[in-house]
Every structure is written in structure tokens, then in C-alpha cells.
């Protein structure tokens, strides 16, 4: 009878591990790396979350900025496009983490875990302005305010082009790409030049004092509890797209959100308990609402507990955003970057580059 009891316990443990998958493994000491980001300061957020986690779990931790020493850290946090350059590893992820991504319709395959899925929106404080396409926005003029407030460096231009084209394969002989560069050139003329090389906090401050008719953000800002706005829309796409079949531009009817991974974590070991903690539903909601760093949900399933506080318009975006994920690689060579830099803010250079093409206004 005694042997039967031991056998039963063994079978129970094996079955339990099979059903629940790998467990969240805890370490008494954690060394956390952070890749410095000049646009958004994630350090206060990490200190808060790690402080709360360590207090509840008796864990010691330290946070340092990453230099050339990725192997020294248990977990490294930063923007996805930077972390993806680190060597991928096979980590046995807990079933809790796998279930989180599966529930939200996101596939993962290695030790790089996105925590943030962004799509571009523009916020408006004047709800009298109807939704605009890119041509409308590029031609919009107000004698008092700037049309658009955003940083507009090379990285942001690349992001917007990839967002608009729904591909990170930029063909610089493509007439559709040329058309977008032309519209961005027009938009540049009414851009808020005072914040063109600013960080996120300076962009947000510009929005608060109402300098711009529209301000560009990631959609996660809509969940920040202290935000006040009148209306918003997805960053506008072109009214037209090029049709190879017709050999001309046709009306663009594909206006679904295009998303990309933002703030993420790179795991160096199977000490995954902190990540399991960050994926708790209440911690995710706190990340969205209490910290103004634009961490965005993966789907509408992440915001079930606050669904009644959100607009139907935003919920519709959340239902679609994980179906169109594009990775920003930023590997374009200097000659391609020069085309972009000289095109935006200098239409003559663009016309000299493509003298025999017609542009659609």
C-alpha cells in the first residue's frame, strides 16, 4: 500500500509537470542590463517593477546599462530592434509565458521576448478635425499651430516608411516609395522643428501645451491614466496605392494597423520568474496606465479588466494590430540613408534623383 502511494505521488508529479510545462524559475540574485535609449527612459519603470518584485520575493537585484558585456546579465531590457542583434539562445520558457503569447496571438521562438506591440497614432485635441489621409495631413496648414509634432530623425523616417509600405524591404526604385517620400517632404514643411530631435518627454510636453494640431505617438499612450485628448486616429496612410496590374495608382482600402515590437527582454538564463511576474495581468495593466512610456498591449485580451473604459475605436485597433507585425531592421546602408535624408526636407534632391517620374499629390 505504501509503494502504491509513492507510485501515485510520482505519477501525479509527472502529470502535473506535463500539464503545466516548465515552471517559473527563481534566483535570489538578479543582474539586469538595460540598453540605453535616447528617446524613452525606461530606467524608472524597471526600478519600480524590480523593487516591487524583489520586495515580494526576497530577491536582490542590480541594474546596469549594457556596454559590450551581454553575458554578464540574467536579463537585458531594451528596444526589440536593438536586442535582436544579440545572439539567440534556446531557453526553456515556462508554460505561463508561452500561454501569454499564444492567448494574444503572437509567436515567439527563442529567448527574445517582446513586452510591447506598437502601432502609430496621432493625437488631436480638436475633435472637429475629421480623419485624414496622408495627402490631407501633408497639405494641412494652420496659421497658428504646427501641423505635426514628432521627432523626425532618420530612424523615425524609416519607421514611418516601413509602417506605410507594410514592409521593411525598401525598394528605392519603387514609385510608391517615391510618392511617400514626396508626401513626407510636404509634411516636413509644417513640422514642429523645435522638437525635431527631441526625446519622448519633450514630445509629450509639446503635446501638453498644445503646440501641434497632431502629435505622433505609439498607441499605448491611450491607456496612460493622466492623458487628456479629444480624439485620435491611426497615423494616416496614402489615399492611393500603386497597382502593378492596372499600371496606375488606385484607392487605398487597406487601412489596418501595422505594428512592430517595442520594449522587450532578452533572457540569458532560465531564471524566468521575473518575466512571469511582468506578465501578470495586474502588472501589465499597471505598466499601461501608471507609466508614461507608451508600452502597448498585444491584443484586446490584455485589457479585459478595463475594457469598459476604452473607446470602441481603440478596441478595434487592438483586435487587429497583432495580425500585421513588421520588424524594423535598420540595416540600410549609407547610400540608402542618404536618399532618405536628402529627400525629406529637400524636394529638389528627390526630383533630381528621379527626374523622369511623376508624383501623385
If asked whether residues 85 and 213 sit together in one domain, one would say: no
In a domain, 275, yes or no: yes
In a domain, 165, yes or no: yes
If asked whether residues 134 and 268 sit together in one domain, one would say: no
Domain of residue 101: give its range: 2-115+262-279
If asked whether residues 100 and 161 sit together in one domain, one would say: no
> What does the pLDDT read at residue 104?
97
If asked whether residues 134 and 232 sit together in one domain, one would say: yes
The DSSP symbol for 237 reads P
In a domain, 309, yes or no: no
Q: Which residue has the higher pLDDT, 39 or 169?
A: 39
Average pLDDT, the chain: 84
If asked whether residues 125 and 237 sit together in one domain, one would say: yes
Exposure string of 290-315, with b = 16+ CB inside 10 Å and e = fewer, is ebbbbbbbbbbbbbeeeeeeeeeebe
Q: In the chain, which residue ranges form alpha helices assigned H by DSSP? A: 2-20, 43-57, 80-83, 95-103, 134-139, 154-165, 175-189, 200-208, 273-278, 281-290, 312-320, 334-343, 347-353
Confidence of residue 128 (pLDDT cuts 50, 70, 90): low
> What does the pLDDT read at residue 16?
46
In a domain, 79, yes or no: yes
CB of 113 within 8 A of CB of 275?
A: yes
> What does the pLDDT read at residue 336?
52
pLDDT single digits (tens) 188-212:
888 999 998 899 999 999 999 999 9
Give the mean pLDDT of 104-108.
94
> What does the pLDDT read at residue 359?
30
Query: Number of folded domains in the chain?
Result: 2
If asked whether residues 254 and 203 sit together in one domain, one would say: yes
If asked whether residues 223 and 199 sit together in one domain, one would say: yes
If asked whether residues 65 and 123 sit together in one domain, one would say: no
Whether 48 shows a pLDDT value over 70: the answer reads yes
In a domain, 312, yes or no: no
Task: Give pTM, 2 decimals.
Answer: 0.85
In a domain, 313, yes or no: no
Distance CA 244, CA 156 (A): 28
CATH number assigned to the domain comprising residue 63: 3.40.190.10
In a domain, 285, yes or no: no
In a domain, 320, yes or no: no
If asked whether residues 151 and 129 sit together in one domain, one would say: yes
If asked whether residues 255 and 340 sit together in one domain, one would say: yes
If asked whether residues 231 and 138 sit together in one domain, one would say: yes
If asked whether residues 166 and 17 sit together in one domain, one would say: no
Amino acid at each position: 500500500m505504501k509503494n502504491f502511494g509513492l507510485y501515485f505521488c510520482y505519477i501525479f508529479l509527472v502529470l502535473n509537470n506535463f500539464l503545466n510545462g516548465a515552471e517559473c524559475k527563481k534566483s535570489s540574485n538578479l543582474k539586469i542590463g538595460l540598453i540605453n535609449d535616447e528617446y524613452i527612459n525606461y530606467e524608472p519603470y524597471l526600478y519600480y517593477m524590480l523593487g516591487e518584485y524583489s520586495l515580494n520575493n526576497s530577491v536582490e537585484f542590480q541594474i546596469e546599462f549594457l556596454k559590450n558585456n551581454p553575458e554578464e546579465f540574467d536579463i537585458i531590457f531594451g528596444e526589440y530592434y536593438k536586442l535582436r542583434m544579440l545572439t539567440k539562445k534556446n531557453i526553456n520558457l515556462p508554460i505561463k509565458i508561452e500561454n501569454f503569447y499564444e492567448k494574444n496571438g503572437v509567436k515567439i521562438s527563442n529567448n527574445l521576448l517582446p513586452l510591447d506591440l506598437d502601432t502609430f497614432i496621432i493625437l488631436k485635441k480638436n475633435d472637429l478635425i475629421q480623419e485624414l489621409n496622408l495627402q490631407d495631413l501633408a497639405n494641412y496648414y494652420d496659421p497658428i499651430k504646427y501641423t505635426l509634432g514628432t521627432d523626425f530623425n532618420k530612424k523615425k523616417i524609416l519607421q514611418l516608411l516601413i509602417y506605410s509600405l507594410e514592409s521593411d524591404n525598401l525598394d528605392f526604385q519603387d514609385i510608391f516609395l517615391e510618392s511617400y517620400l514626396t508626401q513626407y517632404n510636404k509634411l516636413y514643411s509644417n513640422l514642429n522643428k523645435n522638437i525635431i530631435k527631441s526625446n519622448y518627454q519633450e514630445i509629450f510636453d509639446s503635446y501638453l501645451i498644445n503646440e501641434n494640431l497632431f502629435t505622433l505617438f505609439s498607441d499605448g499612450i491611450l491607456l496612460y491614466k493622466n492623458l487628456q485628448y479629444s480624439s485620435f486616429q491611426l497615423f494616416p496612410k496614402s489615399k492611393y496605392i500603386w497597382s502593378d496590374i492596372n499600371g496606375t495608382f488606385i484607392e487605398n482600402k487597406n487601412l489596418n494597423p501595422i505594428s512592430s515590437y517595442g520594449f522587450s527582454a532578452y533572457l540569458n538564463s532560465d531564471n524566468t520568474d521575473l518575466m512571469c511576474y511582468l506578465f501578470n495581468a495586474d502588472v501589465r495593466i499597471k505598466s499601461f496606465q501608471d507609466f508614461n512610456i507608451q508600452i502597448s498591449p498585444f491584443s484586446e485580451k490584455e485589457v479585459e479588466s478595463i475594457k469598459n473604459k476604452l473607446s470602441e475605436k481603440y478596441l478595434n485597433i487592438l483586435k487587429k494590430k497583432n495580425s500585421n507585425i513588421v520588424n524594423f531592421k535598420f540595416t540600410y546602408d549609407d547610400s540608402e540613408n542618404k536618399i532618405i535624408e536628402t529627400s525629406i526636407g529637400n524636394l529638389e534632391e528627390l526630383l533630381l534623383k528621379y527626374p523622369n517620374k511623376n508624383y501623385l499629390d
